[in-house]
Amino acid sequence: MTGATLAEVLAAAKTENRAALIGYLPVGYPDVGLSIDAMRAMVDGGADIIEVGVPYSDPGMDGPTIQAAVEPAVKAGVGLREVFAAVSAVRAAGAVPVVMSYWNPIAKYGVSRFAGSLAEAGGAGAITPDLIPDEAADWLAASDANQLERVFLVAPSSTDVRVKSTAAASRGFVYAASTMGVTGTRSAVSETATRLVSRVRQLAPEIAVCVGLGVSNADQAAEVAAFADGVIVGSAFVRCLLDSPDQAGVRAAGSLAGQLSDGVRRR
C-alpha cells in the first residue's frame, strides 16, 4: 500500500475538528468507466475515503437501491480486476480507497492473492461486512503481511464482548451499523447510533468509529459528524447514478459529496 491510511485520514480530520466523509459506490454501474468517474467526482467534491464496492450476487446487507446497481454489474461480469482498477483511480485522485466486499468473492479469488493485489493497487484495506474476527484467521494473516487495514462491523445487538473483540481485530476504524437491517437512505438518523458509538468508545477508546446505514443529506451528515469519527454514505450516491446513468449522474454524485462535505464540517 502507498499513500495515507484510513487511520491517518481519520486522525487528520479530527485535528480539523470534523468527521471524515466516506462515500460508497459499487464498481460497474452503469459501466466500469462511469462508476470510476463518479468516484473521482466524489473525491473532487470532498470525500476523504471511498468504499469501492465489489459486485456480488447475494448482497445480504444491501438494500434495494444498492442491489439495483449491483445486479447489472454482476451480470456484466464485473469482478475484482475492475475493482483494483477503481482502487488505483481513487488513490490517484487523492482519496484513500478501501474495498467493501462480502467474503465469498475474496475467498474465491484467494485471500493472500487478494491482499497482495489490493496492496499493489494502492488500497488501504477492506471492509468485510459478513466476516467476523473469529472466522477471519486467513484475512488477519494476509492483511498483516501486506500492511492492510481491516474493518469489521458492530451493530446495536453486539454484546460488549463482541464489541471488544471486533475492535481489537480491526485496523483503521470500526464500522458501526447504526440500524438493524439493510442499507438505504432514511428520513432521520437512528437514535441507536449515538448509543452504539458511545459504547464502542467506552469499550475500545483506541480506535475510530464510523457510522453507516441511512445518511443521505448534509443535515444528517452534520448530525452524525457531531458524535462519530466518520460519516459513511452509500445509497444516496448510488441513487445519483440510478437516476442518471450518465455524466449527469457523475456530476450529481460530485455535487452530493460537496454538500455532505459541508455537512461534516458544521459545528
Burial of 28 (0-12, 13-18, 19+ CB in 10 A): buried
pLDDT digits (tens, 9 = 90+) for 208-233: 999 987 889 999 999 999 999 999 99
What are the beta bridge partners of residue 97?
Answer: 50
Integer angstrom CA distances of residue 174 from 156, 203, 209, 249:
13, 12, 5, 30
Q: Hey, what's the cell of 104?
A: 465469498
246 catalytically annotated: no
**Total number of domains constituting the chain:** 1
CATH code at position 58: 3.20.20.70
In a domain, 160, yes or no: no
pLDDT digits (tens, 9 = 90+) for 113-169: 999 999 999 999 999 999 999 999 999 999 999 999 999 999 999 999 999 999 999
Q: Is the pLDDT of residue 185 over 90?
A: no
In a domain, 182, yes or no: no
pLDDT digits (tens, 9 = 90+) for 3-49: 899 999 999 999 999 999 999 999 999 999 999 999 999 999 999 99
* 3-class DSSP state of 149: strand
In a domain, 25, yes or no: yes
Sign of CA dihedral 85, 77, 109, 144: positive
Kindly indicate the confidence band of residue 249, based on its pLDDT and cuts at 50, 70 and 90: very high
- Tell me, yes or no, if the pTM score tops 0.75: yes
16 catalytically annotated: no
In a domain, 222, yes or no: yes
Buried b (16+ CB within 10 A) or exposed e, 67-103: bbbbbbbbeeebbbebbbbbbbbbbebebbbbbbbbb
Among 62, 149, 223, 229, the one annotated catalytic? 62
Mean pLDDT (the chain) is: 93
In a domain, 135, yes or no: yes
Q: Which of 38, 80, 73, 76 is nearest to 59 (CA)?
A: 73
In a domain, 208, yes or no: no
Q: Taking the chain, what is the end-to-end CA distance rounded to the nearest angstrom?
A: 34
In a domain, 188, yes or no: no
C-alpha torsion 172→178→134→109, nearest 10: -70
Among 37, 48, 51, 223, the one annotated catalytic? 51
In a domain, 205, yes or no: no
Which of left, alpha, beta for 21 (phi over 0: left; psi -120 to 50: alpha)? beta
Residue 140 belongs to what domain range? 6-152+216-264
